[in-house]
Amino acid sequence: MFNEKLVESLSKSSMIRAMFEEGARLKKLYGEENVFDFSLGNPEMEPPNEVVESLKKYILNGEPGLHKYMNNAGHIDVRQKVAEYLQKKSGIPLTYENIVMVCGAAAGLNIALKALLNPGEEVIVLAPFFVEYLSYIENASGSPVIVKTMKDSFQIDADAVEMAITNKTKAIIINSPNNPTGVVYTKRTLERLKEVIERKEDEFGTSIYVISDEPYVSIVYDGVEVPNILSMFEKSIIVNSFSKSLALAGERIGYIAASSRIPEVDILMAAMISLNRTLGFVNAPSLFQKVVADNLEVAVDTEGYKKKRDLLYGHLTSIGFECVKPGGAFYLFMKTPVEDDRAFCRTAARFNILLVPGSGFGCPGYVRIAYCCDYSMIERSLDAFTKLAREYGLL
Ligand code: PLP
């Protein structure tokens, strides 16, 4: 038998894959145009022109040796540019030595967790959450401790976090703007979290690291401000990627930045750089390191996402569905009119609408709607949502 635990977990983790297969079946049956697939967070947008131009530049006039192995942490000039960019935003002194380039946020999270955790140490995860966190924590031999966010706002419930912290708590993962809710944590919420963490560190004599998973940090609407985590939390580790902000998900490029205020940060950095190699990533893609370093201030068309959010949010709430208005990312987390979110998804599929049950994000009673799709698909889906609302007596 292969890895038995893994094989068993495959059947549990197949929800998004099941949606994908259902989508393929429906598209074959009714035609691509008539199926409304909101299941995947895979941006439909192409990378901005600036990215294409840098890519051309490096392909045509690349420096010699660009395609060779390099230091496991990445190109020093790229790391230095990332450090300067983050220092400007946070006011925290950073150099290339605080940065490691990685194969996307997924690799960054695995590396950061494995560098921090001793077996059995706990990591607080705020529900609803990006479900892969649980696997990443397990990969690092840690234990996830799930803490619910506030019922109606999905902001952090600092009191609940305080109750969950033990002398084994090593880290908390925060993700804002959030997948799956689209919520941006407010400064007030984060200040409360900071107070709680500091109080508990004093009580237990421990260190609790804040891992900030930020792939959506530049996709925000209506001037919403995303509080800067490096400047707020002394022991912060930023994990970011260009999968969403530059629509480069398939190119696997991102970075980890460890705050210079972390005691013995040089040891942490050495551990993370070594893990980039030993976990088998070796180094982040060379060409794309250079490309993203040219484009740190560039982002995809957030106005385009905002238009999609407004159309969908406006329609759903006008026909009786409830959801928090997302301040960023490209997800809506909608309350289901019945408790059973999986049954709701099956009913939605009868109207050719594909959604992901909130249970998959540790939050039953909701569904995630990923609107990183074509605007015209959202327009075509509105009637189907109206029929779905009627089915549940909302209209
Ligand atoms: N974290 C969150 C919250 C995500 O939504 C995703 C991808 O959807 C990731 C991390 C992984 O991103 P990457 O493609 O950079 O590995």
**Buried (b) or exposed (e) across 236-269, using 16+ Cβ within 10 A?**
bbbbbbbbbbbbbbebbbbbbbbbbebeebeebb
Is ligand 1 within 6 A of the CB of residue 43?
no
CB of 39 closer than 8 Å to CB of 290: no
| Ligand 1 atom 12, closest CA | 105
CB of 277 closer than 8 Å to CB of 222: no
Residues, the chain: 395
CB of 194 closer than 8 Å to CB of 232: yes
Closest listed residue to residue 329, CA positions, set 161, 213, 230: 213
Helix (H, G, I), strand (E, B) or coil at 70: coil
> 386 C-alpha vs ligand 1 centroid, how far in Å?
31
Q: How many CB atoms within 10 Å of residue 305?
A: 24
Distance, CA of 59 to CA of 226 (rounded, Å): 35
Is ligand 1 within 6 A of the CB of residue 249?
yes
The structural domains of the chain, with segments of one domain joined by +, span 4-48+300-391, 65-293
Q: Can you give the pLDDT of all 395 residues of the chain as single tens digits?
A: 899 888 888 776 666 667 778 888 899 999 989 999 999 888 889 999 999 999 999 999 878 999 999 999 999 999 999 999 999 999 999 999 999 999 999 999 999 999 999 999 999 999 999 999 999 999 999 999 999 999 989 999 999 999 999 999 999 999 999 999 999 999 999 999 999 999 999 999 999 999 999 999 999 999 999 999 999 999 999 999 999 999 999 999 999 999 999 999 999 999 999 999 999 999 999 999 999 999 999 999 999 999 999 999 999 999 999 999 999 999 999 999 999 999 999 999 999 999 999 999 999 999 999 999 999 999 999 999 999 999 999 99
Model pLDDT, residue 13: 62
Is ligand 1 within 6 A of the CB of residue 362?
no
Is ligand 1 within 6 A of the CB of residue 158?
no
Is ligand 1 within 6 A of the CB of residue 239?
no
Query: DSSP string of 150-167?
Result: -TTT----HHHHHHH--T
Is ligand 1 within 6 A of the CB of residue 106?
yes
Angle between helices 265-278 and 104-116 (to 10 degrees): 120
Is ligand 1 within 6 A of the CB of residue 213?
yes
- The reply to whether CATH 3.40.50.920 applies to domain 4-48+300-391 is no
Please give the CATH topology (third level) of the domain spanning 65-293.
Answer: Aspartate Aminotransferase; domain 2 (3.40.640)
Q: How many CB atoms within 10 Å of residue 178?
A: 27
Q: State the closest ligand 1 atom to the C-alpha of 213, by its place in the atom list counted from 1.
A: 1
DSSP secondary structure letter of residue 328? B
Is ligand 1 within 6 A of the CB of residue 105?
yes
> 105 C-alpha vs ligand 1 centroid, how far in Å?
6
